[in-house]
Amino acid sequence: MTMQYYPPLSVLVEAKDAGMMVRTLAERRLGVSRKLLSRLKLTERGITVNGQRVYVNDRVQEGDLVELRMEQERSDDILPEPMALDIVYEDADLLIVNKPPGIVVHPTHGHYTGTIANGVVHHWRECGEIVRFRPIHRLDEDTSGLVAIAKTPYVHQQLSEQLQAGEVYKSYVAYVYGAPPASAGTVDEPIDRDPESPHVRIVTPSGYPSVTHYETAAVYGDGIASKVKLKLETGRTHQIRVHMKHIGCPLIGDAMYGFAAPERLADGLPKLEGLVARQALHAAVLGFTHPIRREWMQWEASLPEDLSSLETALAKQDFGR
């Protein structure tokens, strides 16, 4: 079977790069990781100079055309499934999907179908694209909003590095009980698993560094609830939900991180729980530098219907009292 490749990454060697090893050129000019370079070495036409296969330790001269080719891959372990996807953006390198609540991103034990991955793989096959599903980040099942999916190993590597370096902009909207102690602030508290319940995360001194910035956008019903905008510096599991609970403002509808309400909120809580069937959290804005275009790109997803209805009810102070 003839091997198929994604469009090559190309570098024209400049005078200042003459005499440099192919390995060094790929790392410095394209930011290719050593892991990816090792994969390319094993591919028939993975690394070429002026159309000829070379070794990573070979040296280049001014005017040489260096090309890196990645083999096309399918997600054969993911079942294609027709699905109504809200595709916010797509090009040859990446896909941005607005995930609805109640659906997981990737198949896991107990979720082999009905995931975003199943729908995306079907979409690509319908379009005739040979692409492997590579999400850059994930959202909880009941969190809605923007998810980025890489279409090549190189784009996945580049965006993962941006994510780890804190260069990916992620902004969320949440509806919480009570009002934060300040109109804007930062929660800088380490997070780790609860030793008594491994699926739950807690704030603990021995945890991993976790930083969440928040800004109060609206306060409802004399402090019964608030709309909060949040920006993450780190991406720990359940980070927003854990941090907001930590400052006394758990998300409305959050069954895992809810808490016993202060007396002054008691009359409003039962009705608020009935206004939304999941944690009131939405990944509203996503931005990063496009790995191929080398330009900043940013996308926004409007509130889904359930959170829009929740906001309307909160604004009307319709707490059933």
**Is residue 39 classed as helix, strand or coil in its secondary structure?**
helix
The amino acid sitting at 99 is K
Residue range 169-315 in CATH 3.30.2350.10: yes
218 close to 158: Cβ distance less than 8 angstroms = no
Domain 87-164 superfamily per CATH: Pseudouridine synthase (3.30.2350.10)
DSSP string of 230-264? EEESS--TTHHHHHHHHTT-PBTT-TTT--PPPGG
Token readout for 99 is 């995930």
Q: How far is CA 185 from CA 188, 228, 230, 244, 281, in A?
A: 10, 11, 10, 11, 18
The third-level CATH classification (topology) of the domain covering 9-68 is 3.10.290
The CATH 3.10.290.10 portion of the chain extends over 9-68
**The pLDDT value given to residue 261:** 54
The answer to whether 140 is a known catalytic residue is: yes
DSSP string of 147-172? EEEESSHHHHHHHHHHHHTT-SEEEE
β-bridge pairing 169-177 and 281-289: antiparallel
Question: Which positions of the chain have pLDDT values less than 50?
Answer: 321
**The pLDDT value given to residue 1:** 53
The CATH 3.30.2350.10 portion of the chain extends over 87-164, 169-315
| List 17, 64, 93, 140, catalytic entry | 140
Residues 209, 235: Cα–Cα separation, whole Å: 10
pLDDT tens column, 230-272: 999 888 999 999 999 999 999 999 989 986 555 556 566 666 7
